[in-house]
Structure 1
Amino acid sequence: MSDPHDVSGVWYGRYFAGSAEVEENSFIAHLEEAGGVVSGTITEPDTTGMDEVRRAFVDGEREGLRLRFTKQYDPAGALAHSVTYAGTLSEDGSEVTGEWRFSGYHGSFVMNRETFTAEDLEDEAAIDEDLVIELDALLERR
């Protein structure tokens, strides 16, 4: 990914509804960007109690630090509506903050890019190497 603002990847987010009581929910977005066109999926807990999770499709665009997309809930699900999101990407490309709107309702959202440090990746590689050694030892005993 040569553009640090390319939104491709996994994002962890929360959205908030502004009402007498603040309602919120979390979500995981898997996004792909190609030439400013953004697509992907969002999975979130179902707060209605009808299902365990809600799934939605993402279709949008990114221009510079501006990100806009529509989240279309699965038409086969109980909530077959769409929500528009408009946000601003941080300079370092690690966070998006903004607003969502749907049929007169609105609120805010924030999402953070899943990131790994070089140390995290080295630790994972070391764990994988240890697993291979243990598996080889088990196979030799057979």
Structure 2
Amino acid sequence: MADPLDVTGSWDGIFSYPRAMPPNGFRCELREHAGRISGETQERRDTGPDRGTTILALLDGVRQGRSVRFTKRYDSPDLAYYAVVYDGALAADGDEISGRWDIAGHWSGSFIMVRQQRRGVAAKRTMAEEVR
């Protein structure tokens, strides 16, 4: 039987800054295998001369029960030295993660991410519609 809390899937999220900057959105793809999480994320650069461009990052972490922790490492050379640690809690239904992000010694803030529709649910709905 599949683990209902498995975080594999597509997620949309938003993170807040500690200062007066507006929040920034992101999209990510997570894969979980035996509690290990890997994935990729993309967000819009919101500062500097490249403002508005898309930046990519790799994710690596773990899930234990409803506790989710992963590190985001940017693919961009000028941001590669930042390791952003996300520490959150998975909602009981497995479709939302919320918590805090932290760049040690620099910035931290809150985040929330919501799973896009699960493929299994969509497939069951499609099959049910076809049967009717």
- Same fold by TM-score greater than 0.5: yes
Q: Deviations over 1:76-116 (max 9, x none)?
A: 43211210000000000010000000033110000000015
Q: Give the TM-score taking structure 1 as reference length.
A: 0.78
Q: Equivalent residue for 1:47? A: 46
Q: Which has the larger radius of gyration?
A: 1
Count, aligned residues:
123
Question: Is the counterpart of residue 6 in structure 1 residue 6 in structure 2?
Answer: yes
Flag as ranges the 4+ runs of structure 1 deviating above 4 A: 116-121
Unmatched runs of 5 consecutive residues or more in structure 2: none
* RMSD (Å), alpha carbons: 2.4
Greater percentage in helix: 1
Q: Give the TM-score taking structure 2 as reference length.
A: 0.83
Distance in 2 of aligned mates of 1:9 and 1:97: 16
Q: Equivalent residue for 1:17? A: 17
Distance in 2 of aligned mates of 1:95 and 1:114: 10
Unmatched runs of 5 consecutive residues or more in structure 1: 127-142
Q: Equivalent residue for 1:138? A: none
Q: Deviations over 1:43-68 (max 9, x none)?
A: 01111241610100000000000000
- State the percentage of identical aligned residues: 37
Distance in 1 of aligned mates of 2:2 and 2:124: 21
Q: Equivalent residue for 1:38? A: 37
Q: Secondary structure of 1:4's partner?
A: coil
